Amino acid sequence: MTGYEPRPITPAALAELRATDDAGRPCAPYPETEGGAPLRCCLRGSEPGERIALVSYAPLRRWAAGTGASPGAYDEQGPVFVHAEECAGPDPARRGYPFSRPGALRTVRRYDARGHIAGGRLLETPADAEKGFDTAFDEAFADPAVVLVHVRAVEYGCLLFEVRRP
């Protein structure tokens, strides 16, 4: 990668989400039966037998609380899968971008320092996923106003990971 780090949900936010999610609902863990759910705590697919939860997460709201930004109407929440209990987080030996199978459609949404949408693009993940994402992030951060990028699944609109200006 050219300096872009996919960021998982922070441990502090995960602790809160595992109690009450950003929509005010209590966490409802369940045993994973199929595997493959995109876990935002460790940026990998789930495995059968793991205890996971589907929670509502407001990534921009949480980022704004730490930066003083005011996203206004751009504050949104959506579903994300997490381990039901604390996990080790992303594997430090993992390379490449998570959830980047070739052909998958992703939205690469840009935000400015206020937390307002500053553009975006549709990305059909190419065979060389790393190069495709690097190009999309290079384009996003070529605009000096862009400070944060969210990568979302087109099918469900949920956040897969975020990247911040290097």
Q: Exposed (0-12), middle (13-18) or buried (19+): which is 157, by Cβ within 10 Å?
A: exposed
Q: How far apart are the C-alpha atoms of 68 and 139, rounded to whole Å?
A: 26
156 confidence band (pLDDT: 50, 70, 90): confident
Q: Which sequence spans correspond to the domains of the chain?
A: 11-83, 105-164
**pTM score, whole prediction:** 0.93
Residue closest to 18 by CA, chosen among 57, 47, 72: 57
**What's the pLDDT tens digit per position in 113-139?**
999 999 999 999 999 999 999 999 999
> Residue 157's Cα: distance from chain center in Å?
11
CB 116 within 8 A of CB 72: yes
